[in-house]
């Protein structure tokens, strides 16, 4: 994998409020900095759900390494990079740490420790993919595109900003829905079905199942499990224009499917 950002769906209401859903990939170790932005609705690929053997394969074949090797100083941001010879040695040490983490993860795996614990050892070396939906982006771009931001989150934020700048939102009329990951050939499906499969696919962070297939029945089954277990955050990516431009939960001028479900309980 590598740094990436692409617009999955870009919508604008009749009132002119833009709602955008992106898929973003960046190092797992800056996820906390991404998650501090509370106006974002997020669904992340979970390291808990992936077998340890597959996680080990990822960090051995495609490990995350720091984007820049800054020289230590006071404060949170480096202003000077290491010399090339020092950077080469720093990367060697980082990959040694990866190898040690893999070794200990294998030992825990052999002890039958559950993957939700074992895989945590490997997270600093993992790429991470997240689906994010929001109406408010200015504060995020101001903070995270800044030279003061950690280089890894800055790289992701700049790619997100560029993707949004290159995208033209499509009009969504009152009563229609913003439905990420619903494919063009599925538009003939009923509205409720499309809402459900959109939420399920956002939870999976893909329109494909984990087996690499597109299966609407599996999407509907996942939707029901999420609803029953109250895992409702994926339902925040599915939204319809509101009657006014005030905030509804963490989006402005739109009402999320999550609110629809919660109000029906």
Between CA 40 and CA 28 the distance in angstroms is: 17
Query: In terms of residue numbers, what domain contains 254?
Result: 173-264
DSSP 119-188: GGGGGGG-EEEEEEEES--HHHHHHHSSTTS-HHHHHHHHHHHHHHHT--PEEE-TT--B-TT--GGGTT
What is the per-residue pLDDT for 131? 97
> What does pLDDT average to over the chain?
95
**What is the tens place of the pLDDT at every residue in 30-42?**
999 999 999 999 9
Residue 238 within any structural domain of the chain: yes
C-alpha dist (Å) from residue 249 to 159, 236, 257: 26, 9, 11
Domain stop point among 125, 160, 193: 125
Confidence (pTM): 0.94
Residue 30 lies in a domain: no
What's residue 77's pLDDT? Answer: 87
Domain contains 17: no
In the prediction, which pLDDT does 264 show? 75
Judgement on whether residues 177 and 115 belong to the same structural domain of the protein: no
Tokens standing for residue 202: 């956002």
Residues (pLDDT < 70) of the chain are 210-211, 265
- Look at residue 76 in the predicted model and tell me its pLDDT: 87
pLDDT reported for residue 265: 65
Same domain, 257 and 198: yes
Q: Tell me how far apart the terminal alpha carbons of the chain are, to the nearest angstrom.
A: 40
| Cross-strand pairs, 126 | none
Q: Which tokens in the block code for residue 5?
A: 């950002």
The domain tally of the chain equals 2
Tell me how many helices (H) and strands (E) the chain has: 9, 9
Asked whether the beta carbons of 28 and 36 are under 8 A apart, the reply is no
179 and 110 within one domain: no
The residues near 72 (Cβ < 8 Å, ≥ 6 apart) are 78
Is residue 111 domain-shared with residue 185, that is, in the same domain?
A: no
- Residue 224, in any domain of the structure: yes
Q: In what order do the strands lie in the sheet with 41-44?
A: 41-44, 127-134, 18-27, 4-13, 170-172
Is 15 inside a domain boundary?
Answer: no
Assigned domain for 38 exists: no
The last residue of one of the domains, among 125, 155, 190, is 125
In a domain, 164, yes or no: no
| Token digits of residue 260 | 């629809």
Does residue 254 lie within any of the structural domains? yes
Q: Report DSSP state, residue 47.
A: T
Read off the pLDDT of residues 85-104 as tens digits, 9 standing for 90 and up.
999 999 999 999 999 999 99
């Amino acid at each position: 994998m590598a740094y990436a950002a692409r617009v999955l769906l870009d919508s604008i209401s009749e009132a002119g409020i833009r709602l955008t859903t992106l898929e973003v990939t960046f190092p797992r170790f800056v996820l906390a900095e991404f998650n501090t932005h509370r106006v974002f609705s997020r669904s992340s690929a979970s390291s808990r759900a992936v077998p340890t053997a597959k996680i080990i394969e990822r960090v051995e074949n495609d490990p995350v390494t720091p984007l820049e090797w800054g020289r230590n100083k006071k404060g949170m941001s480096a202003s000077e990079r290491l010399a090339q010879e020092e950077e080469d040695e720093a990367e060697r040490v980082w990959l040694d740490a990866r190898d040690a983490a893999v070794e200990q993860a294998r030992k825990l795996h052999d002890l039958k420790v559950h993957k939700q614990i074992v895989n945590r050892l490997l997270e600093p070396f993992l790429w991470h993919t997240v689906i994010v939906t929001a109406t408010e982006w200015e504060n995020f771009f101001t903070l995270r595109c800044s030279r003061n931001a950690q280089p890894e989150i800055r790289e992701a934020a700049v790619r997100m900003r560029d993707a949004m700048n290159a995208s033209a939102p499509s009009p969504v009329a009152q009563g229609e829905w913003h439905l990420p990951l619903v494919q063009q050939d599925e538009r003939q499906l009923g509205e409720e079905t499309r809402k459900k499969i959109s939420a399920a696919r956002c939870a999976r962070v893909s329109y494909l199942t984990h087996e690499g297939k597109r299966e609407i029945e599996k999407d509907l089954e996942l939707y029901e499990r999420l609803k029953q277990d109250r895992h409702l955050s994926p339902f925040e990516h599915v939204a319809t224009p509101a009657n006014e431009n005030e905030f509804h939960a963490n989006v402005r001028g739109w009402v999320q499917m999550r609110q629809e479900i919660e109000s029906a309980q």
